[in-house]
Copies of this chain bind each other. A is one copy, B any other.
Amino acid sequence: MERETGRGQKAWKLLTELRERSPLIQCITNFVSMDLMANTLLAAGASPAMLHSLQEIPDFTPHAHALCINVGTLSPDWLSSMKSAASLATQLGKPWVLDPVAVSASDFRMKACLELIELKPTVIRGNASEILALSNASMGPDKGVDSSHRSVDAVEAAKSLAQASSAIVAVSGAVDIITDGQQVVGVNNGVAMLQQITATGCAVTALIAAFVAVDSLHAFEATASALSIFGLAGEIGMDMARGPASLRMHLIDSLYGLDQATVFSRVNITNMS
């Protein structure tokens, strides 16, 4: 599979638009990820807003350009807000992205994610075990929130889920997989140590929301671009890192500073179908 040079140009175009337009991204997310998610969005040029109250959704969500929903520290009252905001976003034609963190952790969480998928997310991003579980709607025990399956195993599951849900499905892993149920592309950017930093998966989901906000008509390309840009920032950050905490810092600095030449030459997306 050969790297497609046109993908770098598309990714750069989207990143440039993101920096210019600074879309407002509402995040209803877990407590662990809020800091990194907000800083990722700011570094990319977006405008984050972590409003989660049911009372505020009718007033606020219509002003957001995209919505990011993440079930990492789910509770019943937050689930009500998530459903309300997702429902409103879909109704208003706004893109929204679902991160089904640790979906197999409990029946409550699996049911919540399946209900959210009924509300028509634009994109679903998870690791291989999460996407496999969602696709199978299996309730078995899962090894925490980290992936214990290789992402390539999940290609068929991702395609099935994409077909069933009409969402773009992205599977993070050594190679990230993105599919709309027909096409499949792989993103080869990123470094393994990103998995040693909490909430990097959540942060890239928020970045997908920001990319989709600037080109919701091409959510497939926007999703692949976001994953590639985030992974590329990680690669550049890794050159300066001594461990996961310095990688986290350099990741954000690198995302902020990404330039055209780097994006053109290093975005690495390949066709897999």
List residues of A whose CB falls within 8 A of some B CB.
Answer: 24, 30-32, 34-36, 38-39, 42-43, 47-53, 55-56, 58-60, 63, 72-76, 102, 105-109, 141-146, 196-199, 241-246, 248-257
Contact = CB atoms under 8 A, between A and B. Distances in A.
A242 B246 contact: no
Given A43-B244, A49-B105, A198 B24 contact: no
A74 B75 CA distance: 16
A245 B55 contact: no
A84 to B, nearest CB: 13
A73 B55 contact: no
Identical chains bound together, number: 3
A73 B47 contact: no
Given A53-B75, A55-B76, A35 B108 contact: no
Contacts of A74: 51, 53, 56
A73 B108 CA distance: 24
B59 A24 contact: no
Given A32-B34, A51-B74, A55-B106, 17 more contacts: A31-B31, A35-B199, A39-B244, A39-B248, A42-B196, A43-B243, A43-B244, A49-B102, A49-B144, A51-B106, A58-B106, A59-B106, A60-B105, A60-B106, A243-B255, A245-B249, A246-B250
A102 B26 CA distance: 12
